[in-house]
Amino acid sequence: MSLTLALLLAGQAATVPSPSTPPTAPQAPVDEQARGRLGNQQQGGGDVVVTARRRAETIQTVPIAMSVIGGTALAETGAYNVSRLTQLQPTLQFYSTNPRNSAANIRGLGAPFGLTNDGIEQGVGIYVDQVYYSRIASATFDFTDTERIEVLRGPQGTLYGKNTTAGAINISTRKPSFTPEARVELTGGNYDFFQGKASVSGPLVDDKVAIRLSTSITTRRGTIYNVRTGEHLNSQDNLGFRGSMLWQAAPNLDLTLYADYSRQNPDCCVQYYVRTGATQRPTNRQYAALAAAQGYAVPSTNAFDRVTDVDTPLQAKQELGGLSLLANWDIGASTITSVSAFRFWHWDPSNDRDFTGLPITTVSANPSQQSQYSQELRIASNGKHTLDYVLGAFYFYQTIDTQGLQVQGSAASAFLLNPTSAGGRNPATLNGLTARNTIGFTNTSAALFGKLTWNVSDRLQIVPGLRLNYDKKKGDYVSVVTNGTGTALTADQRGVLAPQSYQPDFDNWNLSGDITAAYTVTSDIHAYATYARSYKSGGINLSGLPLDGASNPILSAATVKPEKVNHYELGLKTQLADRRITLNLAAFWTEISDYQATVTNGQLGVLRGYLANAGKVRTRGLEFDSAFRPSSRFSVYANGAYTDAKYVKFVDAPCPPELSGGTTATAGQTPSAPGTAGGISPQNCDISGQRLPGVSKWAFSYGAEYDLPARIAGLEGQVYLGYDGSYRSTFSSNPSRSAYTDINGYALSNFRLGFKAKDSWNVFGWLRNAFDEKYYEVLALQSGSTGLVVGQPGDPRTYGLTVSRSF
């Protein structure tokens, strides 16, 4: 098994079963001070207990590639949301241009790279207290009162309610305690950063009922300055509340009620000028000429000056919350678990989709209201027997209502139409052109799943799993387009925003499974081999369809076929030198047929991509995770991943910008060389053999911590100095790789210096991106093949102070 950096940072990973864990689970008390915040759990003489297989087990014996981060490590490394975990997890990728348009991938797989399409599933499942979160946007919120995070790599459909073909992020919050306790954490930093977290827990009725209440708030001034409005953009403004109540109804029955609410309302999210690249549009229709014709210049052509002049107000407001009830009933040989949940997500955005200060697209927003209901029922054996098992049933129902609005401005004609035509010379042609999109969606999923563990001997386990899944998706997409004059649409206008109406429908049964052989060589050396055959549900396009030559939607593109996954993995986990050294290795090979990809077509007015199936992709790689603790005061770790992810076959892909924008080639015509102004563009491109977007071939995380005993203000504790670094090599930021949108590799360094008193105070100063590395989180293209490349720079150097107190 592979154990990534997150495990090595397991500052407060669970070491005893929670009330929702079978009572026969192993217990291994750990002295966290002896272990240190960066050393892994075995080095301190204890074992981290995880619930990845729906029973409590020590992580080193679980034959799944996984890692764990504890609550203390999350606080001290500043990893307070999934995005920041990527600096600690070499195999995890997370990209976001705003909360809705976010993607979490593991080993390069999970979600198509590009704008989010509600009609498909995530490949990486996010679970909080065993409840599946259907919206990846939830990952942009702050972790609140988190006990631990387990990151599982590879298909997990035979263990989890919702099918997850790439992996799962399993978040566990702290449980109500019958011993009164409280925690407070306050952080301040530059850019007016403030974060406050607090929680309190204790009994309500003797040893029968306990409650936990927690809250968090995060605010920060934006790092990008809008010279037009005088506002700072890409700010943070997060607020969250969480409560849970545990009722120990009987010695063998406990019920936990959870409730949470979060609100996020920042001035976000802006992408702006990075560079230009030559396309095959005529020279007078590429960005430089178009901007000059409007007398326009961006405030700076250096994105790291961090200034913009976008003219549309930005908003990324979202609210989410829900209720869930977790019940565990120990019936002796087994424990029955029920998880009932309701969740909602409300999204109210405003974007500037032309990325400039020109009135090209003056309104671009897709407010959305989403609700989900889920029920999971499982039975799992207690203890260890010749045959152990987990069997489950899962039901999920989701509704989405979206009201999209796009309005073109007075500069749209010049940018989107041929300026030599009558329509292109007239700003009124597209000014006021408006599309109102009404989108409805229902998603029903049901499954039976299970995993059997056959303990052939004390050393050998055979672990087969099976899943029967049903998915049904229905949608309704209506786009009503009007112009500023209230007259019939012209051909120019329909070419930019065309009325559409279609009702896609998809349903499918599938059977998937996996089998693992796990062998204990010695008590400190474990090996496993896994094969999985998995499916990612098909879907429907809910962002509009490409148009045919008559500007009518191509209805055959309304549905997307399921992905079919073949996954192979070998893992080896070792501990040496009395568990002072940990070295874990994993090798994987995953092939996906009918891979769901985000594509665009050559039409000038297509501002949003749609989904299609690529023939086949493959990702393969090696991962290593290592930790060394030469003394009780000093810890070192280094983790890495080599990931070779590519399209094996994708013959009709969208072309990169340097091959787009010209006259579309007809039969017998030879496309022009890349970047030939006024050239001939291919109808589509064969990108077989190219790298998948969003994943680096090489990724590493590394760090160390040293502490010394100290007495400060009468408190006994340790002074500690810590360093965390990460590196990612070049990756593509466009579905079809382009020299214009490659993001160069970069390395980040974070430091902290603090004092920690046992079970009370922790005070530390921190410095993140210490060397002010200039890097991009994502790059994108302005629509219409103008050659404008826009981007979102990563955070600059930040620093601050954190003070926390446990009572």
Lowest mean pLDDT among 10-24, 272-286, 314-328, 362-376: 10-24
pLDDT at 730 over 70: yes
Which pLDDT score, from 0 to 100, does residue 544 have? 82
Q: Model confidence over 632-672: pLDDT tens digits? A: 899 999 999 999 999 999 988 888 999 998 888 888 889 99
Which pLDDT score, from 0 to 100, does residue 341 have? 97
625 in Cβ contact with 4 (< 8 Å): yes
Which pLDDT score, from 0 to 100, does residue 244 have? 97
The count of C-alpha atoms lying within 13 angstroms of the C-alpha of 758, restricted to the half-sphere facing its C-beta, is 11
Lowest mean pLDDT among 28-37, 166-175, 287-296, 637-646: 28-37
The Cα–Cα gap between 34 and 37 comes to 9
DSSP strand pairing (146-153 vs 131-133): unpaired
224 in Cβ contact with 234 (< 8 Å): yes
More confident residue, 576 or 21: 576
pLDDT grade, residue 286 (50/70/90)? very high
Which pLDDT score, from 0 to 100, does residue 696 have? 95
The Cα–Cα gap between 502 and 556 comes to 11
More confident residue, 571 or 75: 571
From the list 172, 182, 214, the residue with the least C-alpha distance to 196 is: 214
CA distances from 734 to 113, 124, 609, 738, 785 (A): 7, 20, 12, 7, 14
Amino acid at 544: G
Residue given tokens 């990151």 in the structure block: 151
- Residue 11: both structure tokens together: 């500052």
Contacts of residue 594, Cβ cutoff 8 Å, sequence gap at least 6:
561, 562, 563, 564, 613, 614, 615, 616
Lowest mean pLDDT among 22-36, 37-51, 117-131, 338-352: 22-36
pLDDT grade, residue 3 (50/70/90)? very low
The Cα–Cα gap between 5 and 68 comes to 8
Contacts of residue 337, Cβ cutoff 8 Å, sequence gap at least 6:
20, 54, 130, 326, 327, 328, 329, 376, 377, 378, 379, 380
Kindly write down the DSSP assignment for every residue of 702-715, as one continuous string: EEEEEEEEEEETTE
Enclosing H/E stretch for 807: none
More confident residue, 177 or 161: 177
Which pLDDT score, from 0 to 100, does residue 165 have? 87
Which pLDDT score, from 0 to 100, does residue 31 have? 34
- Residue 86: both structure tokens together: 């990527």
The Cα–Cα gap between 298 and 25 comes to 61
Cα 240 → chain centroid: 19
pLDDT at 37 over 50: no
Tell me phi and psi for residue 493, to 5 degrees: -70, -40
Which pLDDT score, from 0 to 100, does residue 301 have? 96
3-state secondary structure 587-646: EEEEEEEEEEEEECCCCCCCCCCEEEEEEEEEEEEEEEEEEEEEECCEEEEEEEEEEEEE
- Name the residue ranges covered by the structural domains of the chain: 5-806
Tell me phi and psi for residue 676, to 5 degrees: -80, 110
Which pLDDT score, from 0 to 100, does residue 20 have? 37
- Residue 175: both structure tokens together: 């449980």
Average pLDDT over residues 133-139: 79
Q: Model confidence over 116-125: pLDDT tens digits? A: 778 888 888 8
Torsion angle of C-alpha atoms 563, 533, 124, 391, degrees rounded to 10: 130
Q: Which CATH class is domain 5-806?
A: mainly beta
Amino acid at 307: V
Counting runs of H as helices and runs of E as strands, what totals does the chain give?
A: 8, 45
The Cα–Cα gap between 53 and 474 comes to 33
pLDDT at 225 over 80: yes
Give percent above pLDDT 70 in the chain. Answer: 90
More confident residue, 547 or 190: 190
Which pLDDT score, from 0 to 100, does residue 665 have? 86
Lowest mean pLDDT among 53-62, 387-396, 615-624: 53-62
Which pLDDT score, from 0 to 100, does residue 52 have? 64
Residue given tokens 């990486």 in the structure block: 124
Which pLDDT score, from 0 to 100, does residue 203 have? 95
Task: Judge if the upstream peptide bond of residue 269 is cis by omega within 30 degrees of 0.
Answer: yes
Tell me 745's DSSP state.
Answer: P
Q: Residues 701-721, buried b or exposed e (16+ Cβ, 10 A)?
A: bbbbbbbeeeeeeeeebbbbe
Lowest mean pLDDT among 41-50, 140-149, 190-199, 684-693: 41-50
Tell me 35's DSSP state.
Answer: H
Q: Whole-prediction pTM value?
A: 0.89
For the four alpha carbons of 408, 478, 343 and 509, in that order, the dihedral sign comes to: negative
SS3 call for 705: strand
Distance linking the first and last C-alpha atoms of the chain? 37
Average pLDDT over residues 776-785: 89
pLDDT grade, residue 23 (50/70/90)? very low
Lowest mean pLDDT among 44-58, 484-498, 503-517, 738-752: 44-58
Which pLDDT score, from 0 to 100, does residue 164 have? 84
Tell me 418's DSSP state.
Answer: -
More confident residue, 31 or 766: 766
How big is the chain, counted in residues?
Answer: 807
From the list 135, 107, 94, the residue with the least C-alpha distance to 646 is: 107
Kindly write down the DSSP assignment for every residue of 1-19, as one continuous string: ----HHHHT-SS---S--T
Enclosing H/E stretch for 412: helix 412-416
> What average pLDDT does the structure give for the chain?
87
More confident residue, 664 or 792: 792
- Any idea what the Cα angle at residue 200 is, between residues 195 and 206, rounded to 5°? 170
pLDDT grade, residue 527 (50/70/90)? very high
Residue given tokens 């943070």 in the structure block: 236
| Radius of gyration (C-alpha) of the chain in whole angstroms | 27
Strand ranges in 41-192 using DSSP code E only, listed in sequence order: 49-50, 57-58, 66-70, 92-96, 102-106, 124-128, 131-133, 146-153, 167-173, 181-189
376 in Cβ contact with 391 (< 8 Å): no
CA distances from 443 to 285, 472, 556 (A): 42, 6, 20
CA distances from 519 to 385, 450, 522, 526 (A): 16, 21, 9, 6
Average pLDDT over residues 431-435: 95
